[in-house]
Amino acid sequence: MVFSFSQPTAANAMHIPATMISTKFPLSLLNKKTSTFFIKPAKTLFSFRPITFQRLPANPPSPPPSSSSSSSSSPPSTSLQPIEELPPKLQEIINLFQSVQEPKAKYEQLLFYGKNLKPLEPQFKTKENKVEGCVSQVWVRAYLDSDKNVVYEADSDSVLTKGLAALLVQSFSGRPVNEIIRVTPDFVMLLGLQQSLTASRNNGFLNMLKLMQKKALLLYVEAEKGTSESNSIGNSDFKDDSYVENSSGPSVTPSLSVGFSSEIDDDNVDLGGRGKRIKEKLEKELHPIELEVEDVSYQHAGHAGVRGSNGETHFNVKVVSEEFQGKSLVKRHRLIYNLLQDELESGLHALSIVAKTPSEVSKG
């Protein structure tokens, strides 16, 4: 199977506004990723054969001028969700589809994804898992893994829809809830599949995405319900000056974090106990040349995850460190999550991470 595409150049990757490339989107990352198109498993959940695509000679005639018109109905305006907010796998997929211009080739690519999608077992093809508004039958199953990331499985009786489902599953499976739920459907335009797909099928795609996001949120809320219940049970048992690592689950109580923050309040107006801990942990392990930790829990006040805690649930983290050198975006995020495991188990709900190497930051 030969897929013809041109080597992404800066001009080529101009589906993304220039501002985004220069400041945020690591071009080196882009080039590295698109040199060979392996469909890598995000987690080893799917049975894959890596698919290689023959490369065109190093000098393509010209960056296809029609690329933006054929692959997307309109050049993404700045009102579209910035690409780097999307899960890393989805960014990869978007780039792949953008470099494939011919609608027929896009179909072929889609069918490849579908073919490699792990089939869904019949018992999961329930009404709750069925996507509404689809001309064909589509099911999506979701559950949380041990890291509280959402794992998806999907199936469809139509091969094109299966391809779409596979695309979404690859993009979102194994990702944390907050990453999944903040994706807006804008990226569909970036894929350029809109041209190749009828309106009703597109709706199916959007509905699939919505169902996946809804399921992610539901799973999250359920998991948190379990957390806050045991929180209140353990309330009376803990003293406020010990932060006990308890393998039986969440050990830090609301009163504990209150205790902490009241202790430290005088020293640090901006960050509470958890924020400080996050900073310390990251500093210690990653030796960053730049580190920003911002508590944005107030933005999420009222949402299910915040209930039962005393703030300090959502953070923006920016880390610039040599430690990230040679690691993919996924690996970097995983690294940070692992370091902050304890926090995540004790009431930290979401991290919005920007993880760069010093060289990436200097390219701007």
Active site positions, annotated: 134
Contacts of residue 319, Cβ cutoff 8 Å, sequence gap at least 6: 282, 286, 288, 290, 291, 292, 336, 353, 354, 355, 356
Token representation of residue 279: 């900073």
What part of residues 30-69 is at the interface with another protein (CB under 8 A)? none
Contacts of residue 320, Cβ cutoff 8 Å, sequence gap at least 6: 288, 289, 290, 291, 356, 357, 358, 360, 361
CA–CA separation, 172 and 209 (whole Å): 10
Q: How far is the CB of 130 from another protein (least distance, A)?
A: 12
Contacts of residue 307, Cβ cutoff 8 Å, sequence gap at least 6: 224, 228
Q: Given the complex with another protein, which of 113 and 187 has the nearer CB atom?
A: 113
- Cβ burial of 197 (10 Å; 0-12, 13-18, 19+) is buried
Compute CA distances 137 → 21, 104, 131, 199, 254, whole Å.
39, 23, 7, 16, 45
What part of residues 137-156 is at the interface with another protein (CB under 8 A)? 137
Decide if residue 216 touches another protein (CB under 8 A): no
Sole binder of another protein in the list 15, 33, 141, 201 (CB under 8 A): 201
Q: How far is the CB of 81 from another protein (least distance, A)?
A: 27
What part of residues 266-285 is at the interface with another protein (CB under 8 A)? none
Sole binder of another protein in the list 19, 35, 54, 198 (CB under 8 A): 198
Contacts of residue 285, Cβ cutoff 8 Å, sequence gap at least 6: 323, 339
Q: How far is the CB of 135 from another protein (least distance, A)?
A: 5
Q: Taking contact as CB under 8 A, which single stretch among the options 2-10, 194-202, 217-225, 266-274 is the one that binds another protein?
A: 194-202
121 in helix, strand or coil? coil
Decide if residue 132 touches another protein (CB under 8 A): no
Q: Given the complex with another protein, which of 196 and 309 has the nearer CB atom?
A: 196
Decide if residue 253 touches another protein (CB under 8 A): no
Decide if residue 225 touches another protein (CB under 8 A): no
Is the separation of the CB atoms in 118 and 165 below 8 Å? no
Sole binder of another protein in the list 4, 69, 81, 158 (CB under 8 A): 158
Decide if residue 233 touches another protein (CB under 8 A): no
Decide if residue 196 touches another protein (CB under 8 A): yes
Decide if residue 73 touches another protein (CB under 8 A): no
Decide if residue 230 touches another protein (CB under 8 A): no
- Cβ burial of 348 (10 Å; 0-12, 13-18, 19+) is buried
Q: How far is the CB of 82 from another protein (least distance, A)?
A: 30
What part of residues 112-131 is at the interface with another protein (CB under 8 A)? 115
Q: How far is the CB of 222 from another protein (least distance, A)?
A: 32
Decide if residue 107 touches another protein (CB under 8 A): yes
How many helices (H) and strands (E) in the chain? 14, 6
Site for another protein, rule CB under 8 A: 103-104, 107, 111, 115, 135-137, 157-161, 196-198, 201
